[in-house]
Chains A and B, each alone.
Chain A
């Protein structure tokens, strides 16, 4: 069973607009979450994380929101840039990283 779910396999956004990537999890014991970005032929690159004691964490253009009651987190990218086009993975950390299936973001001019 998939403990971390990314239900949107792809997302297309115009440059300058907001990109919102969503992630749901099933285990209420998860208390640390990360977002990774992956370009083709490269390994995943850490983007931003959030602990369950927070409901928001910002780093430049990237903000992650956590809704523990809904077991839902989202990554906001504002403004979106063409270089943001990649596959984004949500992950929960327990004693290992548990990844979602990824969302492919395409930012077009």
Chain B
């Protein structure tokens, strides 16, 4: 059984650029959720994808978007990067009833 893997592990981008983060879900899981963890904070829910459809979204602007593929892997895209987007981005996979999620190691994004 493979765990949740995220790529890349670290990334530095310039303000205004666009970024794509990737996540492979755990074997057998059909749901992927994305979280943003700023320094000193707990993870904040961005959105969730279930069977390739977005089925929940947190309080993040539309420049945060995502995709889920038929193999249940997922991408998080962020357009027009801002300095405050600097954070650890966590991907979690799960399956209904979604009460327990398994996290990847995260992607550390730095916007300069």
- Kindly state the separation between the CA atoms of A21 and B101 in the bound complex, as whole angstroms: 21
- Kindly state the separation between the CA atoms of A95 and B99 in the bound complex, as whole angstroms: 9
The number of residue pairs between A and B whose CB atoms lie closer than 8 Å in the complex comes to 54
List B89-108 residues whose CB lies under 8 Å from chain A: 90, 92, 98-106
Task: Report the minimum CB–CB distance from B111 to chain A (whole Å).
Answer: 20
Number of B positions contacting A (CB below 8 A): 23
Chain B residues contacting A73 (CB-CB under 8 Å) are: none
**Inter-chain contact B101/A97, CB cutoff 8 Å:** yes
A45 touching B33 in the complex, CB below 8 Å, given contacts A96-B56, A100-B42: no
**Inter-chain contact A89/B45, CB cutoff 8 Å:** no
Task: Report the minimum CB–CB distance from B89 to chain A (whole Å).
Answer: 10
Chain B residues contacting A41 (CB-CB under 8 Å) are: 105
Please report A residues at the B interface, Cβ cutoff 8 Å.
4, 6, 32, 34, 36, 41-46, 49, 89, 91, 93, 95-102
